[in-house]
Structure 1
């Protein structure tokens, strides 16, 4: 049996129990904690006979790997890693797919924030390269606040190649955020239909190989001398505009 993963934080564990309770092996809760949020988690776990263990703050910190566990940690059966085949199946069954691709976003906090926003905006899947990219670590899941359990997270070997295949085989338009000569202001771009929005890394933006797959580039108009935004903030603004158009 594969080693368990550890989820921590109230939102993350609560969402897991609501959506995939069969994966939870054991719940570890802080000794002495007995508030309404914890009671909700225990109520969700009870019908499935999940083992509940009281633990000290230090023990929870060791399991979570960080002190910000909010008094609850879940030992969980690992979820199968989704890959290119899963992406093809999704596109085959979703004619107007709404996708977010992250090009080498390595900070798990930024990844978690992007996933949280993507889930809120109705994105079908978040796609990342398998290498040189943050994965669904406990930290990313915690920041996603339950979003990681509500959205597909797909890791591909070569992001540019996958974008090219999506365009050729499924007529997905690839829209990248980049300030170049052909870039449109965000609100002037058409985000309807099957679309993949590509956001660049925190420091370097979109790689040239990824830029080459973009059918259109866009930028976020900003006042003053500010030239860039945190990737999770820029992702939120871009996904909101896309969601607004798609539900107009």
Structure 2
């Protein structure tokens, strides 16, 4: 890993917002999935959550989101399980839903740990999502259409969250865990070796301050390559 790439990855990680996330509930169109994850990366979300209604959606959706290598995707079969996991992290769970109790999305305090539910393209959020969410939010609209594309709605809300967090100085202090930093540094800085680790079921080694792999001779033997061979590949 070059010093330039190491600095770029670390700078990105320093601005990550691990307590800001999105839950995609049944979103299945490839361009929407990719756009949502791309926006999450741009905003600084370190992970997103996805509920799949069918195995086919899980397979195709995973491929669509796989192009985004910098945001961790957590997969679920049930909406209730996903929301329960978010609430365990003390997140306020918001859902876009036009109801009597809905508030303008800009009235929310996004400096709090927050997760935003994005419903399926055609039918929106499910009844269980609306029931379990802490607050309904709406994006005001004065035109003839009644809703935005799901990926556009995601961007609108997340950039309001980004604006509030930027004003509060939340992008000036690193809050990502060291374990997550190490994972991203290894997978993003040494993708070829990371792929071999996954194939062989080997644990990730430590990445030092210069971006280099720190591992025992036994680990390299399990990789079936020498450290010198890796450095030659890594510098190509």
- When normalised by structure 1's length, the TM-score is 0.56
* Higher normalized helix content (fraction of residues): 2
1:136-195 Cα distance to aligned partner (Å, 9 max, x none): 21x5455xxxxx11111110232222212432x321110111111111111111212211
- Structure 1 counterpart of 2:49: 127
Q: 1-side partners of 2:27 and 2:85: how far apart?
A: 21
> Are residues 1:113 and 2:35 paired?
yes
Q: Is the 8 A contact 1:178 1:206 kept in 2?
A: yes
Shift of 1:224: 2.2
Q: Which runs of 5+ in 2 are unaligned?
A: 7-15, 168-236
* Counterpart for residue 201 of structure 1: 120
Following superposition, the deviation at residue 100 of structure 1 comes to 0.6
Q: Which stretches in structure 1 are left out of the alignment for 5+ residues?
A: 1-17, 20-93, 143-147
Report the 3-state secondary structure (helix = DSSP H, G, I; strand = E; otherwise coil) of the residue aligned with 2:132. coil
2:71 aligned to 135, 143, 151, which one?
151
Contact 1:129–1:156 under 8 Å retained in 2? yes
1:243 lines up with 2:162 in the alignment? yes
Report what 2:80 is aligned to. 160
**What is the rounded CA distance, in whole Å, between the counterparts of 1:97 and 1:189 in structure 2?**
15
By how many angstroms is 1:244 displaced?
A: 1.1
Structure 2 partner of 1:175: 94
Instruction: Say if 1:95 and 1:194, in contact at 8 Å, map to a contact too.
Output: no
User: Equivalent residues in 2 for 1:179-194 (5 A)?
Assistant: 179-194=98-113
1:103 has 2:29 as partner: no
Q: How does 1:1-248 map to 2 (within 5 A)?
A: 97-132=19-54, 133=57, 135-137=61-63, 139-141=64-66, 148-167=68-87, 169-248=88-167
| Contact 1:192/1:242 (<8 A) preserved | yes
Q: Distance in 2 between matches of 1:96 and 1:238?
A: 17
Structure with greater strand percent: 1
Ranked by relative contact order (alpha carbons within 8 Å, sequence separation 6 or more), the top structure is 2
**1:115–1:96 distance in 2 versus 1, CA, 3 Å:** closer
Distance 1:198 1:102 in 2: 6
Residues 129/222 of structure 1: CA separation in 2 closer, same or farther (3 Å cut): same
CA shift, 1:95, in A, is 9.3
Cα separation, 2, equivalents of 1:128 and 1:193: 21
Q: 2:179 — aligned with what?
A: none
Cα–Cα, structure 1 residues 228 and 95, in superposed 2: closer, same or farther, change >3 Å?
A: closer
Residues 154 and 165 (structure 1 numbering): CA distance in 2 closer, same or farther, change over 3 Å? closer
